[in-house]
């Protein structure tokens, strides 16, 4: 009661309280609306995700058997598998990631630690952002002109290079963002102890940003594991068993693309199985990496 009387005794106190109450109610209504929209968007996203995973399980799980992993691609009706495509995808994804990750890590480190505000740093960042948003088919055409046509044929090496080009800007962006989040005090503490700048980056900044950088690498792997267009212009595909990097090499995305439009039911079934393998392979890799990083932390 005394607080109310004090507020009334102040000129304009009641009016100020009324305005404050109206603003509070307005903020509450806005908060409710935004929260409802966020919940609705989450429900829509989860609905599509569950629908996609459910479709993959429904159409792909029925064709999942041992021969898929032990038999190469065969003509329709002869009970072929996806061994050559699985091995080809693993080789090209791993090699492309191994090539692209160090380059992206070093470029991201330069942009975050040495190139802030410089003309060269801004130019590199701009090119990286353009490359990050470029359609993958353009990257495939570029690698085709540089590494396929001059050497007279498709090859697994060209496919790995195309995937590496896709990996680089993703790792660059993630590395730069994660290193910029590291407090400057950590770097200053290392310098105060007499550590060179490169040691403070490698032994302090990298360790502090390890989870974020690893997440960026996983995102890059998930991106390139399902790429089809660049491989159509580079490694092309191979229905026979081949691990020769200088020859056309099979891959799961290209095989899925070829089998999905096939009039043969067994090939269509293998296409769904391949999509299921890619999806759950990437999902398993993410889960394992997060568990390992959490234990390390």
55 band by pLDDT with thresholds 50, 70 and 90 = very high
pLDDT given at position 188: 87
Q: What is the pLDDT of residues 29-42, one digit of tens each?
A: 889 999 999 999 99
Q: Which position has the token pair 């290209």?
A: 254
Q: What is the pLDDT of residues 61-88, one digit of tens each?
A: 988 889 999 999 888 888 889 999 999 9
CATH for the 67-296 domain, from 3.40.50.1820, 1.10.3720.10, 2.80.10.50, 3.30.1490.20: 1.10.3720.10
Residue 76 has phi, psi (to 5 degrees) of -55, 140
3 band by pLDDT with thresholds 50, 70 and 90 = very low
Has residue 109 got a pLDDT over 90?
yes
Q: Which residue would you say has higher pLDDT here, 270 or 10?
A: 270
């Amino acid at each position: 009661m005394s607080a109310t009387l004090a507020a009334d005794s102040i000129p304009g106190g009641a009016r100020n309280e009324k305005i404050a109450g109206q603003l509070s109610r307005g903020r509450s209504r806005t908060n409710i609306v935004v929260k409802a929209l966020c919940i609705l968007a989450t429900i829509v996203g989860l609905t599509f995700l569950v629908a996609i995973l459910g479709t993959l399980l429904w159409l792909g799980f029925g064709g999942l058997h041992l021969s898929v992993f032990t038999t190469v691609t065969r003509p329709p009706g002869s009970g072929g598998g996806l061994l050559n495509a699985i091995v080809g995808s693993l080789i090209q994804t791993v090699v492309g990631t191994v090539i692209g990750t160090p380059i992206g890590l070093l470029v991201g480190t330069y942009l975050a630690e040495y190139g802030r505000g410089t003309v060269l740093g801004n130019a590199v960042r701009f090119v990286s952002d353009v490359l990050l948003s470029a359609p993958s088919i353009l990257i495939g055409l570029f690698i085709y002109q540089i590494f396929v046509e001059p050497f007279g044929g498709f090859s697994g090496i060209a496919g790995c290079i195309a995937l590496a080009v896709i990996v680089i800007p993703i790792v660059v962006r993630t590395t730069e963002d994660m290193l910029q989040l590291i407090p400057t005090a950590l770097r200053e503490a290392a310098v105060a102890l007499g550590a060179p700048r490169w040691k403070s980056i490698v032994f302090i900044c990298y360790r502090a940003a390890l989870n974020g950088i690893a997440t960026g690498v996983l995102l890059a792997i998930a991106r390139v594991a399902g790429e089809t267009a660049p491989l159509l212009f580079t490694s092309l595909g191979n229905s026979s068993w081949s691990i020769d990097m200088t020859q056309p090499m099979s891959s799961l995305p290209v095989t899925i693309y070829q089998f999905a439009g096939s009039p043969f039911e067994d090939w269509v079934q293998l296409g769904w199985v391949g999509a299921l393998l890619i999806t759950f392979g990437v999902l398993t890799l993410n889960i394992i990496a997060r568990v390992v990083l959490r234990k390390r932390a």
